[in-house]
Each structure stands twice: as structure tokens, then as C-alpha cells.
A and B are shown apart, each in its own frame.
Chain A
Amino acid sequence: MSTDNTDTNQRILTYPEAVREATLQEMERDDGVIVMGIGVDDPKAIYGTTAGLQERFGEDRVFDTPLSEDGMTGMAIGAAQMGLRPIHVHIRMDFVLLAMNQLINVAAKNLYTFGGAAPVPIVVRSYIGRSWGQGPQHSQALHSMFMHVPGLRVVAPSNPYDAKGALIASIRDNNPVMFVEHRLLSDSTSHVPEEPYALPFGKARVQQQGSDITIIGISYMAVEAYRAAQYLKEVGVSAEVIDPVSLSPLDLETILASVAKTGRLLVVDNGWLTCGASAEILASVAENVESPVSLKRMGFAPVTCPTTPGLEQGFYPNAQTIAVMANQMVQGKSADWVPDEIGATEATEFRGPF
């Protein structure tokens, strides 16, 4: 994946390595940063993202928690009020549902409720699962639910470079941040500068410039959208690909500038459509454009994620279905081109571990 950093060493890291490095560097910089969550100190270390941190910083700053997501989220909030900066890690986003009272009623609201007196600087990291039988309760992508709530920030970086910069920004931020990771991105690589850097919230990444259509891909769908854009070159369609990175706040300015140029927008969410990030983006664009644009969206099928591979395949958009949709938006519905490749080899070849 191309990034615009200027690191001449071109050091390559995986996504988990980038997340780990961001965490380690911030823990070195600020001794108020703590890492907590079920399994953060176990041998698998959350796909390696927390590996070695407990040895480095001690059991008081890096600790396993009881299986008490609600209580531990509340604990993180209270610790944050006293000056700590907790990073609470969940190996699946589905588990965050156990903590909704603390996240929505407390973390999101305390600053406002108390007239600015009580900021809640916490980071909640969680993984969206996919493939190899993750099934109904290990595959959910709930970023849209959190985008709905004022007071929360939501970021979903799709490559190691953005992951490091967005995590550092999240740790330093004085607001609660939902930091959304995707299991299938764990093997992705990009060059990542060694020195710490923070990405600004509300700044999208234009992954590829184009003139015929704007394709926005959220979280893992940024990868599939980029692939689709490469397929589309075969039929002469020039796609501009945007990864929002930051979902709340959303970089509407970059999106609107792109749509003004292309006149077409396809939003591909890594989630359900109804009341989702795709609905929000399309509505915001529709409200703000001068002349009519062609709008479409894709995402999870409106069903519970099935476990069996044959059905699971149909649940997700992929580079092929995205490319077909984009081509029809540009060339008309009668266009019957289908790219040879489906995309998502990391999805079809994924064999765990969970």
C-alpha cells in the first residue's frame, strides 16, 4: 500500500508491529499510559501487538483483566479521570457490546455533562474478525454505532503507517477514541517511520487519484476498494480511492472535493448499510453538493454473518463486486464486464489463528 511518508529507510512493518511500536513509544514518553485487556500479557499477545510490553513496563502498567468488559471499561474511565491514559484492548469488537453503558453513558458524555470539567482520555482498541468461521459473534463491525454518539472519536486505519500515526494521536487525545482494527489486516505491510508521529483526526487519505468515480473504502474495504480500482484500469475507468481513516470526525472536505471532480460516489463499508457509515457519508455528500451526483453504497449483506464459507463469501463485498458496481456507475447498467480476480486472497486463504 502506498503512503506519502518520506522515510528514506523504507522500513517495512506489519500492522501489528506498527500498533506495538506506537504503544511502546507512547508508554516511554508518558508513564501514565497503561495497557489493559483480556490476554494482553498472554503468549499470543493480541496478535503480537502487546508483545513484550509487560516485561518492559511492568505488571502495573500492562495487565490482563478479569473477563469483565463493563467493569474494566468503567475502571479505565475512572483511571483516566485521575490522569492515566488507558488503552483497553478487545480481541473482538463484539465484546465491546458488553461495555456499552460505560462507553456511551459515561466516556462519551462526561466532558459535556460536567461542563468541560472531566475529560476521558481512553483508547478502546478492538478487532473486527472475518473468515475461517468467525461467525455471528466474532465478525461484527460496529463503528457506525459509535459514530452515532457525540463525544466519541472513531478511527479505522487500513494500513500499518496509518495505524501507527492514528494510535499515537488517539493516545495523546483527550477524548475517548474507538480504535478499530481488522483481523485480515494483520499480515498487511507498509513502510513505517521509526520516529513517533501523530495523524490528525478528521483527515482522509487519498489512496489513488482518479477522474471517473470516487470509491470510499472503510477499514478493510479500503484494501478491496484499492484492488477494485486496479481492476477498473482494464476497462479504462479511472477511480479515485479514498480511505477516511478517521470516521468521527469525518473529512467531508476531501470527499466533497473528490466528488466534485468525478460526479460519482461509491461508498464501500466494512459493515451493514442501514444507519451506517455509508448512509452518513452519502447523506452528507447529498446535502452539500451543488449539482446531482450518482450515489451508491455497498457493505455487509443485511443478515447475521454466517459461519459456513459458501454463505460467508456472499456476505461481504469484494474487489470484484466493487469493480463491477463502479464500472456500471460509470459505463451504465448494461456494462457486463467482470474482472477475472475476486480479490481478498487474505480472506480466502485465512486459516487463523482466530
Chain B
Amino acid sequence: MPDPEVIQDLYRSMLRIRGVEQRISDIYWDDKIKSPVHLSIGQEAVAAGVCQTLEPKDVVFGTYRGHHVYLAKGGDMNAMVAELYGKVTGCARGKGGSMHLIDLEHGVSGTSAVVGTTIANAVGAAYASKLKKMGIVIVVFFGDGAVDEGVYHESLNFAALKNLPIVFICENNGYAVHSPILSRRNSDNICEHARVYGVTAERIEGNDVIAINERVGKAVAAIRSGESGPHLLEIMTYRWMEHVGPGEDFNLGYRTPDERAPWTDSDQIDGLRGQIADDVVTRIDAEVLAEIDAAFEFAENSPFPEPEELYAHVYG
């Protein structure tokens, strides 16, 4: 049984993600967020469970579905929401938006809108960490769609070849946009494939935040101590909302509410709430709500970039 403080940390982490994304979904129709959003509601356990095992100096790489990773790693919430609003106080000064979040101070490397892209970048960061003996563990999050990309295979091969300090987190939510995994590959064998490259791999079933936390924790510890090279964790999870946008998508017909039901029934936030004393839950809930309120207020009140910003940051 994990430490009660870890349970509280995981609960708070997941609640912050759920709360921010639910708020985004609620206000999206106001059109104040004028860019696509890829919500991670339902997948909070992955980012929360993984990032709780990391040190502040460790670096994570993610994708356009990256709000959860950014927040779980400690990315500044005000700067994230302001970024979605396109404000100059955003983490990328409004130039990136939801799909391009960054907070280097807290170990969040920039996320990408092209599937698979940051996997190779993460491997490079791991190479630098090893070469310079930084003691930094790199974690890269990607979906099951990314394993179709050539760069994924090139990256795993090189990470294993050089025995790099990196954890590959495959968030397997069953779909690449709307395409199920078995329409894209011969068999559901992501871990088996990774092992062939020399990467230690295992699957974690059920979107179980405690299991994720424990097993990723062991992998990170083994990597940090130098006793092990790269690991891949295939974490089975489920996207509750549509691929892109604030709503649900059962009207499209590619999946059904029945398919989702087991995942919502086993909601990890509800599960942990039951393991924490009521007064503590009440306190955490209030603190998270206040933090979210403040972040959206900060975004609302922040200015847009000045017109001259158009030409800034092309070259450095």
C-alpha cells in the first residue's frame, strides 16, 4: 500500500488535470480559446502516476494531448491557461497554444503537434544527460498511434544501442484519432516489439494509477542508479472525450458508450478519493478549485502579444 502522502499527491495531481480540462470544456463555446484542444480527461492517471516518480530536474516530452503531462510535471498552471487564451503571459507567449506547451524551468520540454516527433527529441535529451553526467532521467509520452511511425522505431533502437536514461510511456488509448490499433498493425504486440530492440518493456492494465506509479517508479529508480537502460511502459488507458475538441464523440459511431463504461466506472480520481480522509479531500478540492479559478482569471486578465511580437523569435 503506498504512502498516504503519495495517495494525496496523486489525487491532487489528477484532480488539477481533470478540473482544468473540464473548465476548458465548459467555456470552450465562448470562443475565448481560439485553437484546437486535445483533452486528456480519462488519461490523468498516466501523467500523474508517472510524474510523481520524477525529480524536479527530470525532463518530460509530450504530445499535442499534453495538458496532463505539463500539469503533472509541475508546469505553471497560470502560464498554461494563458497560453490557451493566446496571451503574452502564456508559457510560449501565445505563439504555441494548447498543442505546444513548454515550461523548461519545471522540466517540461516543448510538446509537438506531429505524432511521434518528440520521441526522437527525448532520446537526444537522454543522450545529453548521459554524456554530461547530468543524472537527469528523460520521460517521453506518446500514444499508440506513434508506434506506427518510423521515428519511434529509430528512437527505440538508438536508445537501446546507447543504453540511455529514458522511459518511453506509450499511452495506449486504443485509437489513433479514430482508427483502432488492430486496423493499423498485425497484432497488439507493442511491448514484444520494444523488447526486440533491447528495451525493457511491460504493459500496465486498467489505467490503475497506483500500479502505474509503482512500476514506473521502479523503472526510473533502476535507470537513475545506472543498473538499467531504457524502459517502455505501455499503459492501457481510455480517452473519454473526442479526439479534438471539448465534447464527446459517440455520434461518430466508431465507438460506443458501452466501450467507455468500464473506464468511467473505474475512475481513478473517485478511487483515490475514497482512500483519503474526508477533511483532507475537502481541503484539497478547495485548494485545487481556487488554483484553477485563479489561473483562468489570470488568463482572462492578461494582455495579448503586441503586434511586433509577430517578428520576434525567428532567429536567436
Contacts and interface: CB of A to CB of B under 8 A. Distances in A.
A34 B161 CA distance: 17
B23 to A, nearest CB: 23
A176 B313 CA distance: 13
Contacts of A111: 313-316
B127 A78 contact: yes
A82 to B, nearest CB: 3
B188 to A, nearest CB: 24
B282 to A, nearest CB: 38
A60 interface: yes
Interface in B134-170: 134, 136, 150-151, 153-155, 157-158, 161
A117 B158 contact: no
A151 B154 contact: no
Interface stretch (A61-69, A266-274, A318-326, A346-354): A61-69
Most A CB within 10 A of own CB, among B100, B102, B117, B316: B316
Interface stretch (B24-32, B42-50, B89-97, B250-258): B89-97
Nearest to A110: B110
Interface stretch (B118-126, B219-227, B293-301): B118-126
B109 interface: yes
A248 to B, nearest CB: 10
Most A CB within 10 A of own CB, among B127, B312, B313, B315: B315
A282 interface: no
A337 interface: no
Contacts of B102: 114, 117-118
A183 interface: no
B290 interface: no
Contacts, number: 147
Interface residues of B, number: 46
Contacts of A10: none
A174 B316 CA distance: 6
A208 B291 CA distance: 67
Given A101-B117, A113-B96, A78 B314 contact: no
Given A83-B132, A111-B313, A113-B92, A78 B122 contact: yes
A66 B117 contact: no
Nearest to A36: B127
Contacts of A80: 124
Contacts of B104: 117-118
A32 B128 CA distance: 9
A80 B131 CA distance: 12
A71 B154 contact: yes
Given A117-B102, A118-B104, A82 B125 contact: yes
B182 interface: no
Contacts of B100: 113-114
- Counting contact residues on chain A (CB < 8 A from B), the size range is 35 or more
A280 interface: no
Nearest to B127: A79
Question: 10 tightest CB-CB pairs across the interface, nearest first?
Answer: A74-B120, A78-B124, A71-B154, A115-B93, A82-B128, A78-B121, A68-B154, A75-B124, A79-B124, A116-B313
Interface of B: 59, 61, 90-96, 100, 102, 104, 109-110, 112, 114, 117-129, 131-132, 134, 136, 150-151, 153-155, 157-158, 161, 312-316
Given A75-B124, A78-B109, A84-B128, 9 more contacts: A68-B158, A71-B123, A72-B120, A79-B125, A101-B114, A111-B315, A114-B96, A114-B100, A114-B102
Interface of A: 32, 34, 60-61, 65-66, 68, 70-84, 86, 101-102, 105-106, 110-119, 150-151, 153, 174-175
23 contacts: A34-B131, A65-B158, A66-B158, A68-B158, A74-B118, A74-B119, A75-B123, A79-B125, A80-B124, A105-B112, A105-B117, A106-B112, A112-B95, A113-B92, A113-B100, A114-B110, A115-B90, A115-B91, A115-B92, A115-B313, A116-B93, A118-B110, A150-B314
